[in-house]
Amino acid sequence: MLINTPIEHDYPTINQDQLIKLQQCERAVELKQSSRLKLANCYFHEGHYGCSEHMYCREAVAKRLQAILTVLPETMGIIVFDAFRSIATQHSLFESISKAIQCRYPALTESELNAEVRKFVAHPDEPSRFAIPPHNSGGAIDLALFDINTGKQLNFGSGFDEQTPRAVTDYFERPYEYSQNLFNESQWQTICNNRRLLFGLMKSYGFVNFSCEWWHFDLGDCLWANELGMDWYYPSMEQEVQTLKE
Ligand SMILES: C[C@@H](N)C(=O)N[C@H](C)C(=O)O
């Protein structure tokens, strides 16, 4: 299935049947690596506090990834950067991303810095924004597509967790712009198509994208609920993951 329609954050409303399906598949599961599902587990390998060598998510998320693999061209696979995240890891990430952004933009005021940081990471304990940080619910997933033959990630125009405007999901929807020799016009179009494919597939399987990050998708969590104007569905998965590990 090659989707090539412009990225639009307009999501269909969820009906009762779909909610029941989320409920039926709410248990915590461990993601299993296969030739077409690579588990990068980035934060574990970067040594962030509170990570596990295993990756977990809601069963509804895992099942949808498997379904997407059946419609994705056979030459492509999915690479998962991160899925369930403990609150300890969310703290660790929030601190490191805050520091990185402060170093990159030293002139930001405190409130500008707060707003910029939140484009790239949820605060670990900010109920006024999210009752449960999205990844802690097991409903959020960070991912990209890769080429099975080369093993390389497709070009998405920015790295995972790159804190620049290029991370904005629809950034490459605009007409080609020459920018610091980064991309030629054909690469710009390829990036645009790759983002459309990932976004279109995830959207067609019920996920909502966080518009500041092309790699971040949500199902049943607070970001999903905000976008759809509904109540969030999945609570913290911390306890269940703990039980799975024991
Ligand atoms: C840190 C980044 N990969 C991410 O997951 N950001 C979202 C907003 C989050 O922290 O939930």
Distance 22 CA to ligand 1 centre (A): 22
Does 60 reside within a domain? yes
Sign, CA torsion 34/38/41/45: positive
Residue 1: pLDDT band by 50, 70, 90 thresholds? low
The fraction of the chain above a pLDDT of 70, given in percent, is 99
Establish if 213 belongs to a structural domain: yes
Q: Is any ligand 1 atom within 6 A of the Cβ of residue 224?
A: no
Specify the residue with its C-alpha closest to ligand 1, atom 7.
Answer: 121
Helix intervals (H) in the chain: 16-24, 42-46, 59-71, 87-104, 110-118, 185-204, 222-228, 238-245
Does any domain span residue 56?
A: yes
The answer to whether the CB of 91 falls within 8 A of the CB of 133 is no
The CATH number of the domain holding residue 141 is 3.30.1380
Give domain status of residue 186, yes or no.
yes
Residue 93 lies in a domain: no
Q: Is the ipTM of this complex over 0.90?
A: yes
Higher pLDDT, 21 or 158: 158
Domain membership of residue 119 (yes or no) is no
Mean predicted confidence (pLDDT) in 181-195: 94
In-domain check, residue 118: no
Q: Is the pLDDT of residue 233 over 70?
A: yes
Confidence of residue 222 (pLDDT cuts 50, 70, 90): very high
* pLDDT above 80: residue 193: yes
Asked whether residue 153 is domain-assigned, the answer is yes
Task: Check residue 3 and give its pLDDT.
Answer: 84
38-77 pLDDT, tens digit per residue, is 999 999 999 999 999 999 999 999 999 999 999 999 999 9
Q: Domain range holding 194?
A: 2-86+132-245
Q: Which of 28-32, 95-99, 177-181 has the lowest mean pLDDT?
A: 177-181
Do residues 144 and 198 make contact, with C-beta atoms less than 8 angstroms apart? yes
- Residue 196 Cβ inside 6 Å of ligand 1? The answer reads no
Say how many Å lie between the CA of residue 122 and the centre of ligand 1. Answer: 6
* Structural domains counted in the chain: 1
